[in-house]
Structure 1
């Protein structure tokens, strides 16, 4: 027996508990934690847009604010996506546990265990990357202060390195510099945890969906054996029909699981795609503008944003591509077995599987977007196109 939550999603559980998004957390403290985290993320975006009120609105200021604000909006969307869909996340885990409880033999358990270990490894690597990146950003403005006696860097230089994100708190920013820095670092920590926790949770579900399709392929491979082909008596015919039934059953459940995974977050996925394209375009343009001005620190900040968005988008689309490939592999397996040597009624059952394989079997987000490597290339191309538009408008 496999316990999905404790054996395969224990890392994800810890990350989601840290930001109050674990679906089985129903305490008052958990609700307070969720409200506080969401309020901190939202307030930081608001304080960025308030800079448009107190400063002269120029094209450069608008692009500078929106390039960073859209990235932090990405945090908010991801957080809100799991907050309002807590029941969907819980349902996904329950559905996956229910399917795993129906596995038949040790080889099928081994397949799911292998994919579960892959999910845990991806979560661990993503968490390590997020921790290193977060600490680097937090410690960046502190290192000059630590080595001020060696580097001879004054307080104003420290503040200029720290404040690269335009905000307006309607207070003296020099006087309350460390409080503003604390707010910024808190948002970075919560945001990084949110991206890692929610992203690896969805990635883990996608990897387990691939494992379910692999189990379906394994059952398909076991339909026709040499022993059954040599002796097609009534007992073996019944056994063949049962194996076909179990192969189709696990495949249908895997398809249903992936449909639930997509449909539960469909609106949020479309919003994330839109924001990611806008964010990439604006930050690419920001890199170009700051390169002309020689502002190396701002270039580094925008480059980090671009890297995170591209990496996140690539992993999401790669996961979608893998699900499609594993789904198609089920039909390839059905074609490759010696179905033509099976009894006639068994051939008719296999024929339905082969006919289903002729249809396109892709994930589909609201009929508008199909997660795949081709779609990742399309999103990157769209972002570059919008950057070209911004560039031409400034000429």
Structure 2
């Protein structure tokens, strides 16, 4: 039987889709009624509109967490007094008699990592249609379609490794994925994890995963994964080997702890990553992020010139002239053009606009920076790709006439 109140709220939400409070009230009722998938759908809609919504995040975490029995049910199951319920009732009145020392249950007062709202979405990423389509299939479509996810047995857990030349926007893309999911975003680099003292690196990794599980839905971005997860066969450092083992353990997420945690990693050297990290259930999917296409290069120029005094800028012409440039190279071009205009203004004593002549002069000085990476990639494709892992990279190198 259907609930008349829920049916009325559904119609009200259809009539006012932007009413966040109304949609959350409906999601709460759906979750209470046991309709978890619909509740997740409405929570995801709210988070896409307001990624910082605390009530939506809390409700999403409840919906995606393990089912819990009510105190009354627990008492019936055990056939006696419900000590857990009684302890919960007096927890705010009486201090606990003993300290368990269970760090897994304790909430730390502070965290070494910053949990952010992404603030952007894939709509802010210019071009890169193939990358967006792959991300849609890997993460976004299952989140938006809980009924299909349930039908096809698709878990909300996931790991994907972004690889490609340096400066091509891998971090920006990871942040945009978090924005699309309405999820929190935690970015971690090598220096945030590794510690000179034995055991501390493993402890840092364990604490990091406890944090992102509490913040679920959350995107964890691991930068420089080739350094953090380097091949154990190639290192004699016991601390590094222990860190890799701990990372593997956390990625496995014993007992489904990683539900709602989306792990994205980035590297310029995927061939240096420990093969165990790329087994099923871990970072088992890879995505090649190439230098920006023409549409993306226009967007990068527009972004880096948006707050500078410019006139007569032909973005299409600049995009055509910078084929093979990374996003970082284009940023350098814009910075160099600004310096030329600034120095000219300082000499003349009169400020002037940045024009095409300045950018073209900068282009004569700035060359693409990814040549060395392409040469290394070429050697890997030719001599170390027996299993076809880098088929997509091989296709690109042939197109770029590097093979």
Q: Which has the higher contact order (CA 8 A, sep 6+)?
A: 1
Q: Common fold, TM-score beyond 0.5?
A: no
Which TM bucket (shorter chain)? Answer: under 0.3
The structure with more strand, counted as a fraction of residues: 2
The structure with more helix, counted as a fraction of residues: 1
